[in-house]
Structure 1
Amino acid sequence: MKRVVSIAAAVAMTAGLAACGSNDKSSGSSSGGTDQFKAAIAFDVGGRGDHSFNDASYQGLEDAKKKISNLSITTAEASESDNDQARVNRLTQLASSGNKAIVAVGFVYANAVGQVAKKFPNVKFAIIDDATPASAGSNVEQITFKENESSYLAGAAAAKTSKTGHIGFVGALKVPLIQKFEAGYIAGAKKVNPNIKVDSKYLASDGKGFNDTPGGKAAADAMFQSGADIVFAAAGKSGDGVISSAHSKGKWAIGVDSDQALTADKSVAGSVLTSATKRCAGTVEDFVNSVKDDSFKGGNKVYGLKEDGVSLSTTGNHLSADTLKTVDDLKKQVVDGKITVPTTPSN
């Protein structure tokens, strides 16, 4: 009987650890020790390997580890079938496992962060891409970006580069956050070429749109076939499909969140014209460091072009000198307040 009880207890413990991920061995984490400073990250759909904002956010923890030698990192993957309760359970498991700093990647965690943060007032939370009252709390840092501003520069670069006067946009799902990308992209393109044609396509009505590589490829294929020669994707891992499509068609893709000319598969990365990036890694690193040195302050932190929180990458040197000059001029006007970039699409 004692042996049966021991086996049952071991199975239950193993299941509990599997539910929230495991210490990431590549980060140099160890399984024990009281001197560890424990931090965790709960990924959005797409998780590690999305070449986009999940990977960029995780990089922030790796960067923090370079300064915090005793940092132990735990990762927790998400599922397309997740609901709020699943996310609450995931964050609760992480908070009750001794993690002092927990990063929730994506606005879908808003309700879960709000609930769990109240139950664990001594744990500090950061949520990326949400600043709603649902996630607010004295022990919560809301990290948001002006994605419309970097997308504005991406649209301008696309319009200057396009030979057909026809470009495209692929979004994961039609929500305000993703519409910010579309709005900036269209506005920037039309600033350069008022007559440019912009196709827009949203992949799904739920989180599956962030993890649909075949769907991203199909959407881009259709746009290229109809005459577009550049497609910008704000769709997480689905953007891999857009880049793949651009490569197969001899066209251009524009990456998002990370510099995807560096993070995409090397066999297709040469087809990334530029990327509208945001400083996920830097903000996550700053958050973890602030918790470690007791300088944490909750509230919403907003990063735009002025704060160097978003930018347009130039890896590969695919943008002409004239295009770079136009982009730099438009960036200066946005930073100086002479141009206000819209957050909702005009069409």
Structure 2
Amino acid sequence: MPQPLSRRSVLALGAAGLATLAAPARAQDFAPGLLYAVGQKFDKSFNEGAFTGAERFKEATGIAYRDYLPASTAQFEQAVAALLRRGVTDLALIGYYYAAPLASLAPKHPAVRFTLVDAVVEAPNVQSVTFKEQEGAFLVGMLAAMASRTGTVGFIGALDIPLIRKFIAGFQQGARHARPDIGLLVNFVGTTPAAFNDPTTGAEVAKAQFQRGADVVFAGAGVSNFGIFAAAKDAGRFAIGVDSNQNHLYPGTILTSMLKRVDLAVERAFGEGRSGAWTPGSRALGLAERGVDYALDDNNRALVTPAMRDRLEEARAAIIQGHIRVRDAA
């Protein structure tokens, strides 16, 4: 026969119940998901950064995530529906081109927490994470100018959109900060998002810039960067990577990489969703937030002299302290 509970037992059970209510959502109440940008999952760049952040979260918490790699932007609703059918409660979306469709879709799923990386959508269940790309680009622009022997550097973007213009603006300001007389070239791989996945054209654009005198090119073109890097190696010129640390792809050719910490954005979104700290709204990550940076490792350390690094660190501090104001494209 069950024994009646003592007053002490009742109090203990009540306290335990209150603790449960106050605790973060349990793993079974939380299911993170990741919708990659169109392209390759292991692109050594944007998508792989998102993957790294999700994997780091999984390793730290033991909570698995669901993911989806679309073949085109037209698959957005199909991809989201597939992830939600799998029980996703917190969905990180990687790519500026998801902004418009997410603005229409988010109100239909008010219980889902969406985190959009690289664009802004205002909705009560959307958190938008953008980056101050111009600040990171300023530093690699300085390095490009300091490393150039011809006095001309170039930028190769995927296509001409406001996001890419932020990279260009920072790169130009940084290059001229280090060397006011530097020559600057700007070209694009294409005119549609497919330009992020066209290494052949990327290589041709790079060759054209080399023929015009550029000896350092900043590649901001996704998977198209692979063609730019190969062209730089063949021509004996320098290239600069983007988003993830791409120095290891062509040691001795890649001068540095401008880091854009998509991994931190994804890891933080999942962590906040799990703990109950996730909130809608917008946040922009720059040098002060360690959201952007330049990469220095064994693959490029010999290319970046102590004097160059000192100037870069001085500029970093000045930007964070507000003594150097880096304009974006606007």
TM-score by length of 1: 0.83
Instruction: Name the aligned partner's letter for residue 344 of structure 1.
Output: A
Q: Check conservation: 2:145, 2:175, Cα contact below 8 A.
A: yes
Aligned equivalent of 2:134: 148
What is the Cα deviation at residue 76 of structure 1?
A: 2.5
Superposed CA offset, 1:10-29 (max 9, x none): xxxxxxxxxxxxxxxxxxxx
1:116 to 95, 105, 129: 105
What is the Cα deviation at residue 140 of structure 1?
A: 1.2
Please give the alpha-carbon distance, in whole angstroms, between the structure 2 residues aligned to 1:214 and 1:45.
Answer: 18
RMSD: 1.6
Instruction: Name the aligned partner's letter for residue 164 of structure 1.
Output: T
Instruction: Name the aligned partner's letter for residue 146 of structure 2.
Output: K
Gaps of 5+ in 1: 1-33
Aligned equivalent of 2:270: 288
1:220 aligns with 2:206: yes
For residues 1-347 of structure 1, the aligned pairs below 5 Å read 35=28, 37-79=30-72, 82-83=73-74, 86-131=75-120, 135-262=121-248, 264=249, 268-315=250-297, 316-317=300-301, 318-344=303-329
Q: Check conservation: 2:38, 2:69, Cα contact below 8 A.
A: no
Distance 1:128 1:269, change over 3 A: farther
Superposed CA offset, 1:260-280 (max 9, x none): 114x3xxx2441100111111
Distance 1:280 1:184, change over 3 A: same
What is the Cα deviation at residue 102 of structure 1?
A: 1.1
Gaps of 5+ in 2: 1-26
Please give the alpha-carbon distance, in whole angstroms, between the structure 1 residues aligned to 2:274 and 2:251.
Answer: 37
Q: Check conservation: 2:68, 2:79, Cα contact below 8 A.
A: no
What is the Cα deviation at residue 136 of structure 1?
A: 1.9
Please give the alpha-carbon distance, in whole angstroms, between the structure 2 residues aligned to 1:118 and 1:232.
Answer: 39
Percent of aligned positions with the same letter in both sequences? 32
Q: Check conservation: 1:243, 1:269, Cα contact below 8 A.
A: no
Q: Check conservation: 2:37, 2:69, Cα contact below 8 A.
A: no
Q: Check conservation: 1:88, 1:115, Cα contact below 8 A.
A: no
Please give the alpha-carbon distance, in whole angstroms, between the structure 1 residues aligned to 2:185 and 2:28.
Answer: 54
Aligned pairs, number = 301
Q: Check conservation: 2:166, 2:328, Cα contact below 8 A.
A: yes
Q: Check conservation: 2:36, 2:67, Cα contact below 8 A.
A: no
> What secondary structure is seen at the aligned counterpart in 2 of 1:296?
coil
Please give the alpha-carbon distance, in whole angstroms, between the structure 2 residues aligned to 1:78 and 1:191.
Answer: 41
**After the TM superposition, which segments of 4 or more aligned residues of structure 1 sit over 6 Å from their partners?**
none
Superposed CA offset, 1:103-155 (max 9, x none): 11111000222222211111111111102xxx222221101000000000000
What is the Cα deviation at residue 94 of structure 1?
A: 1.6
Aligned equivalent of 1:25: none
> What secondary structure is seen at the aligned counterpart in 2 of 1:49?
coil
Please give the alpha-carbon distance, in whole angstroms, between the structure 2 residues aligned to 1:212 and 1:322.
Answer: 36
What is the Cα deviation at residue 169 of structure 1?
A: 0.5
- Higher Rg: 2
Instruction: Name the aligned partner's letter for residue 53 of structure 1.
Output: F
Distance 1:115 1:97, change over 3 A: farther
Please give the alpha-carbon distance, in whole angstroms, between the structure 2 residues aligned to 1:166 and 1:111.
Answer: 38
